[in-house]
Chains A and B, each alone.
Chain A
């Protein structure tokens, strides 16, 4: 992950919550020092980002689903058969599964994964093992972490229906998808490109684990961590997962 200001390796990851939407900024040590982000009260994220961000340009007609990262619309997809950016895969996720099923006869990746991804997966698996041993069961079989079953695996059933490619052109994203995208899914799409439509800064959170309030009991705390872990897994935010895993371990050990 590179710094959003200077392209060095980012080591500080800021998250702000505005009207229930999460926006993230990644900075390297020197830029964060320069901007004084370690002092949240004196730090104006909006000032820093001023002039950097650009409005998302989109051809979307009112009410049409579009990617908040790159402005890509579903009619753009119909026209080109290609997406605008990586975030589009989350924005236009509904309807995608059936398309992939027709195209590839499978909908889950089982091949190579990037190194850091493989490492985090290992950590999460270990965390899951520890959590299970401690008596509560995190739902690691959430939609984004499911390990595909080989049940439908058949070497000879891979052939692509002639109609498949035509199906791309006819693919439609149902209207009710719009609401979902306005809600939870959007958080994901904004994550990669935080400089869109920046509202006033209401709160600023560091991505570091926060201290738990002392009045929570150990069980309540575990409960909460478990919920957070589930949410983090669903969002594929493996950095957060690793943090939560550490907290769960620490709590189990206490």
Chain B
């Protein structure tokens, strides 16, 4: 079994590899909710019930071929900061991190599959991939779901499909979502229209850490809202089409910004780089928003494209729990802001000086 320390040392696979449309689509995620017959749902179950379910299900999950050498821990064995690290890496939900006895998390070595036991449902399984790869992510999770189905009897009705604690997840139990980086739509003030249109066709748009969180770093999660009445493939295809359209809109918005307001774009990117490169105290929110601008710089040729990976890693590593693991002690907010600035300075040191010639070429080309 993998220890927490080992898990920490390696960034998740999705951070180090790329996928289709990776400049705009950071990750694709699929989540499946499953429950086991004859056990009350976790939210209603007593502590003993939850423990019984865990004792039955955890070995089955650990026994999956994909989970060879996996990380598998009961949530009570992890410190508050360790749990928060898992949340910051999107490996467990905030709700799950707050849970008491009888709850566990199992994840593979690549951190591409994580399975929460006794979250809102008995099983919440997640697959995460870089770029726009919803169907590939689903297929990898579908395989695991089928393997588990042979070991654990799932609660299922012919009429309603997979039975979930909350009727909003009934049917497929599937939530497909993509994390999009949309600075172009934000800067050109088209983002509210985009969110509104997505909502209108039954899709949810949320901030960086899910429900009720603020849109930091120009990052938005878009996901299906309904789970009943359509097949998994239909839901994914529809979401895929909508995301492809948003990606197109974002590309157009960036192009138009470069053509119409090149100075503003250069200023935003240059300023962000300058502050990140030399600041000694920097709050989380400010750094996330500035890193977003540097990432945009990578996409527009101001910085080398391959530096996007560095930004992906930084977006995670500068968050509060990661900082405190790095410092090996509890830090107050001010101490965190200092350490954060230090880590960012160190990491951006190797970055080449911003080169704005691409932006200028693109805008001048348009003028002719």
Contacts and interface: CB of A to CB of B under 8 A. Distances in A.
Contacts of A99: 167
Contacts of B227: 104
Contacts of A117: 156, 158
A contact face: mostly helix, strand, loop, or mixed? loop
B157 A83 contact: no
Interface stretch (B95-103, B199-207, B333-341, B347-355): B199-207
A105 B229 contact: yes
The size class of the interface chain A forms with chain B is 35 or more
A82 B149 contact: no
Nearest to B38: A192
Interface stretch (A31-39, A155-163, A178-186): A155-163
B45 to A, nearest CB: 8
B168 interface: yes
Contacts of A114: 149, 153-154, 156
Contacts of A254: none
Interface string B269-290: 0000000000000000000000
Contacts of B232: 111-112
B141 to A, nearest CB: 11
A1 B226 CA distance: 30
Contacts, number: 136
Contacts of B155: 86
B11 to A, nearest CB: 32
A115 B148 CA distance: 11
Interface string B140-184: 001001100110011111111111011110111010000000000
Interface in A164-212: 168, 192-193
A110 B158 CA distance: 9
A127 interface: no
B4 interface: no
A89 to B, nearest CB: 6
Q: Considering residues B35, B150, B226, which has the most beta carbons from chain A within 10 angstroms of its beta carbon?
A: B226
A103 interface: yes
B172 A111 contact: yes
Q: Considering residues B56, B155, B199, B232, which has the most beta carbons from chain A within 10 angstroms of its beta carbon?
A: B155
Interface string A34-61: 0000000000000000000000000000
Contacts of A158: 201-202, 225-226
B37 interface: yes
A83 B160 CA distance: 14
B44 A72 contact: yes
Given A81-B166, A82-B43, A114-B156, A107 B228 contact: yes
Given A70-B44, A111-B172, A114-B154, A159 B199 contact: yes
8 contacts: A100-B160, A104-B171, A106-B171, A109-B171, A111-B161, A114-B153, A143-B159, A160-B202
Given A84-B40, A103-B167, A160-B226, 12 more contacts: A69-B40, A81-B166, A83-B166, A83-B167, A89-B157, A96-B167, A113-B156, A115-B146, A117-B156, A158-B225, A158-B226, A192-B38
**Top-3 shortest CB links A-B:** A106-B229, A109-B161, A158-B202
